Amino acid sequence: MSGDLAGVMEHAGTTYQDNKNAAWEFDALFQAQVSDGRWSEALETLDLGLKRKHVDRDVGQRRRAVLETAEAARLVGTGDLPAAADMADRAAQAAPEFTP
């Protein structure tokens, strides 16, 4: 995804919060957050997308594992090793077959 990620996140985020049936906003918001490395925000969006059935459960679990692995790597970079280990454990539980 290229272009104005902040603008996409603002517009799609507002629209998605207001319209629970707006699947395209889920896709736009999630992709923008991932493209911008906003792992925690993308996890929140994924949770909402799963709740609203805008993403298949199995796909959602795999995406969760990927996002939690990315967040664990970010936490290692900040020196927060206990939080990184916790996040890596969550990723392993979300998709045990996923090996980063």
The pLDDT tens digits for 4-33 are: 777 777 767 677 777 788 888 889 899 999
- The candidate with the shortest Cα–Cα distance to 71, out of 86, 55, 61, 60, is 86
Sequence spans of domains, the chain: 1-55, 57-95
For the stretch 20-67, pLDDT in tens is: 888 888 898 999 999 999 999 999 999 999 999 999 999 999 999 999
- Alpha-carbon Rg for the chain, nearest whole angstrom, is 14
Angle at 61 between CA 57 and CA 67, to 5 degrees: 135
Residues 6+ apart with CB under 8 A from 73: 84
What CA–CA distance (Å, rounded) separates 50 from 31? 15
Kindly tell me if the per-residue pLDDT of 2 is higher than 60. Answer: no
Q: How far apart are CA 48 and CA 86, in angstroms?
A: 22
Whether the predicted pLDDT of 74 surpasses 60: yes
- Does the predicted model carry a pTM greater than 0.75? yes
Unique residue bearing structure tokens 């919060």:
17
